[in-house]
Amino acid sequence: MSVPATSTSVASTPAATPFLPKLARIVAAEQFTPKEKWFRVVPHDGRPLAHPPMSFVQVSVFGVGEAPISVCSSPTREQAFELCVRAVGSVTNAMHQLGVGDTLGIRGPFGNGFDPSAHKGKDFLFVAGGLGLAPARSLIQYVLDRRQDYGKVTILVGARTPGDLLFQGDIQEWVSRPDVQTLVTVDRPAEGWKGNVGVITTLFKKIKINPAATLAVIIGPPIMFKYAVLEALSCGIPENRCICSLERRMKCGLGWCGHCQIRGTYVCKEGPVFTYEQVKRLREGI
């Protein structure tokens, strides 16, 4: 089975003026860690973002600039959408200064995203390391909101330390659900941590999957991705059912400027979601 990860059919219709940001108001915010902050955002025009899971928006902080950020909530929860931002530079640090009531600019949604409706009945194995849980969460929420449409759901989450774990409220909820298997691990435990210790690949020996029915969604830092894909492949999941999300420097988000190009592939438009089979052919992809 091949996964139509690059289908553009799941992306919503672009706005008439795709370079003009829509205004959106921050209605909730939480500092998850010193580096990562979560925001819930509502467009001023009240229209849902209508994004496919694992797509992204170009977020602007006025007077500072624009940055691509994954929508970390599912389109099934459409009254608002959510972002989780790691402060690394000018735009992301400026976003960390914002809070409830502040206004952002939003362009998009952009990217192919992932169309879960094309995979009804399948099992899902999510392997999310660090900030990779942000794009993965949009699809996890979608699958859990349509739980009856999918088979077995397994979620593996890894972080460097317990304090680095993002979306801790969600993780607790997933762990308590009988219809989902959720395992969490940290590289370095802190006092009081009673969970798994070790890199995320060590969790594979604790799960049982049916490779013939499973889609593996693997998102995290490049080193994690490399070893997690090897584990998924060794479980028998084929390359065209290992799904990942690529990050590249972006400007337009529309396939026009070429900033995100890898050997003729426009990550902003043809991606960011690719199968491992596709990524393998893009040298420098990961």
Ligand X SMILES: Cc1cc2nc3c(=O)[nH]c(=O)nc-3n(C[C@H](O)[C@H](O)[C@H](O)COP(=O)(O)OP(=O)(O)OC[C@H]3O[C@@H](n4cnc5c(N)ncnc54)[C@H](O)[C@@H]3O)c2cc1C
Q: Which does 65 bind (CB under 5 to 8 A by kind): ligand FES, ligand X, none?
A: ligand X
Residue 204, both tokens? 């594979």
Q: How many residues bind ligand X (CB under 6 A)?
A: 21
Give the nearest distance from C-beta 111 to ligand FES in angstroms.
10
Give the nearest distance from C-beta 110 to ligand X in angstroms.
8
Stretch of 26-34, 64-72, 184-192, 236-244 contacting ligand X, by CB under 6 A: 64-72
Stretch of 15-23, 87-95, 137-145, 228-236 contacting ligand X, by CB under 6 A: 87-95
Q: Which does 255 bind (CB under 5 to 8 A by kind): ligand X, ligand FES, none?
A: ligand FES
Give the footprint of ligand FES on this chain (CB under 6 A): 250-253, 255-260, 266, 268
Residue 187 CB burial class (10 angstroms; 0-12, 13-18, ≥19): middle
Give the nearest distance from C-beta 254 to ligand X in angstroms.
13
Instruction: State whether residue 7 is helix, strand or coil.
Output: coil
Cβ closer to ligand X: 81 or 150? 81
Q: Does 92 bind ligand X (CB under 6 A)?
A: yes
Q: Which does 91 bind (CB under 5 to 8 A by kind): ligand FES, ligand X, none?
A: ligand X
Cβ neighbours, 10 Å, residue 142:
22
Residue 117, both tokens? 């409706």
Interacting residue with ligand X among 220, 247, 269, 274 (CB under 6 A): 247
Give the nearest distance from C-beta 175 to ligand FES in angstroms.
37
Contact 15, 2 (CB under 8 A): no
Residue 265, both tokens? 């592939």
From 209, 195, 65, select the one nearest 125 (Cα to Cα). 209
Residues from 255 through 284 that contact ligand X (CB under 6 A): 272
Cβ closer to ligand FES: 58 or 154? 58
- Can you list the pairs that 192-198 forms with residues at least 24 positions away whose Cβ atoms lie under 8 Å? 193/162, 195/162
Taking the C-alpha atoms of residue 228 and residue 271, their distance in angstroms, rounded to an integer, is 20
Residues from 199 through 228 that contact ligand X (CB under 6 A): none
Contact 9, 114 (CB under 8 A): no
Contact 216, 127 (CB under 8 A): yes
Q: How many CA atoms lie within 13 A of 21 on its CB side?
A: 18
Residues from 173 through 202 that contact ligand X (CB under 6 A): none
Q: Which residues bind ligand X (CB under 6 A)?
A: 56, 65, 67-70, 84-86, 88-92, 131, 134, 247-250, 272
